[in-house]
Amino acid sequence: MSDINLKANLSNEIINQQTTELATLDKELTDCLTRNHYQILSYICNGSTCSVYKIVDINQTMLAAKIIDHRRIVPKFREQLLPNELMITRMVSHSNIIQIENVLQIDNYSIIISELAIDGDLLRFIQQTEQPLIDKYRKWFTDTTQGVAYLHSKGIGHRDIKADNVLLCNGGIAKLADFGYAILTLDLRGRVQLCTTFCGTPEYAAPEVLRHIPYNVTVSDCFSLGTLLYLLVTRKLPFGCGKTIRTKEGAFQQYKRIMAKNWAVCGEIEKDPNLYSLIDQLLHPDVKYRISAEQVLLHPWIKQN
């Protein structure tokens, strides 16, 4: 059992700290934004691969700019994952997925302009909130699952579902963001393609992903949804977190805990059998028994309000 006092990402491995000072931003970058009639207003935060800023467009609409400096990301990210992210963000449109407004590309930068999530990300919200706000969390978890079900219906797997990639927008709507690891899950004939590369965040990874065996991305996404739900209702990650699980031995121990269903039944989960049943089916170690995003939306815990 682990507390959530972490930003569960691999930031140091992928990117060095990027500047937060607007005055020191590269001229190439600011010129590009100005040419496209955007003005940077303020820094929001750094992600594992980017810096994110609040910007405004010519109509004074507030937006977010996710700025990826090509010189600061590892070649695998630059050559494979970034083109994938740019392609997939353009393919999706759903009320529970952050809407992309524009993508700008210049020599050293890719800039993804999207709607602004005014209330930030869900991890930050949970960290700042002591009490589990079950009805609110049920709503945000349902929103997120609707986004995931949409992606899966389009043959897209997300591969990095976690609280920091769920953003809170105007009107109290949760939307899934960050397609940095997203992938097409079907081949040209519509058959499921299994994936073999480890991607995403170990704390949220399904056992089959930790094992490095070919896995069905949509099924492993649902395990991450289970981790997210557990985190929302307990403020803890079900199977641990931190540096140790980023080692080979640590990942193996994590795998064993998942296979033994070694997550604590506590707090709200102890009180509500429907919640227990939903988490149990999402964190199921056996892919045959893990429920899909569509099935989650029909589950009694989602329906009870």
Write out the catalytic residue numbers: 160
Of residues 32, 67, 82, 98, which one binds ligand ADP by CB under 6 A?
98
DSSP state of 154: T
What are the start-end ranges of the H helices in the chain? 11-14, 27-35, 75-76, 82-91, 122-128, 134-153, 207-210, 217-234, 248-259, 267-271, 273-282, 293-298, 300-303
Tell me if 214 sits within 8 A of 248, measured CB to CB: no
Q: Which is nearer to Mg ion, 73 or 291 (CB)?
A: 73
d(CA 5, CA 42): 25
**Choices 54-62, 158-166, 207-215, 221-229 (CB under 5 A): range interacting with Mg ion:** 158-166
* Range in contact with ligand ADP (rule: CB under 6 A) among 47-55, 103-111, 185-193, 256-264: 47-55
- Cα(246)–Cα(202) distance, integer angstroms: 7
> Can you tell me the distance from the alpha carbon of 187 to that of 172, in angstroms, rounded to the nearest whole number?
36
Q: Quick check: 200 binds ligand ADP (CB under 6 A)? A: no
Over the window 1 to 40, marking each residue x when it contacts Mg ion by CB under 5 A and - when it does not, the resulting string is ----------------------------------------
Residue 235 CB neighbours (<10 A): 17
Least distance to ligand ADP, CB of residue 6, Å: 13
| Closest CB to ligand ADP among residues 115, 208 | 115
Cα separation values, 142 from 85, 96, 99, 217, 305, Å? 24, 9, 18, 20, 12
Contact window for Mg ion (CB under 5 A) among 11-19, 27-35, 45-53, 295-303? 45-53
201 forms part of the interface with ligand ADP (CB under 6 A): no
Nearer of residues 117 and 275 to ligand ADP, judged by Cβ:
117
Q: Does 121 bind ligand ADP (CB under 6 A)?
A: yes
**CB-CB contact of 203 with 251 (8 Å):** no
Q: Please state the closest distance from residue 178 (CB atom) to Mg ion, in A.
A: 4
Contact pick of 85, 115, 178, 221 for Mg ion (by CB under 5 A): 178
Residues of span 65-94 touching ligand ADP by CB under 6 A: 66
Which residue, 66 or 257, is less far from ligand ADP as judged by CB? 66
Nearer to Mg ion, 182 or 219 (CB): 182
Site for Mg ion in 83-122 (CB under 5 A): none
Q: Which of 114, 145, 146, 165 binds Mg ion (CB under 5 A)?
A: 165
Q: Residue 234 region, left (φ>0) first, then alpha (ψ -120 to 50), else beta? A: alpha
3-state secondary structure of 267: helix
Contact, 161 vs 148, CB < 8 A? yes
Residue closest to Mg ion (Cβ): 178
How far is it, in rounded angstroms, from Cα 21 to Cα 72? Answer: 17
Measured at the CA of 210, the angle between CA 206 and CA 215, to 5 degrees, comes to 65
User: How many other β-carbons are positioned within 10 Å of the β-carbon of residue 163?
Assistant: 24
Nearer to ligand ADP, 63 or 283 (CB): 63
Positions in the binding site for ligand ADP (CB under 6 A)? 9, 44-45, 47-50, 52, 64, 66, 98, 114, 116-117, 120-121, 164-165, 167, 177-178, 180
Q: List residues binding Mg ion (CB under 5 A).
A: 47, 165, 178
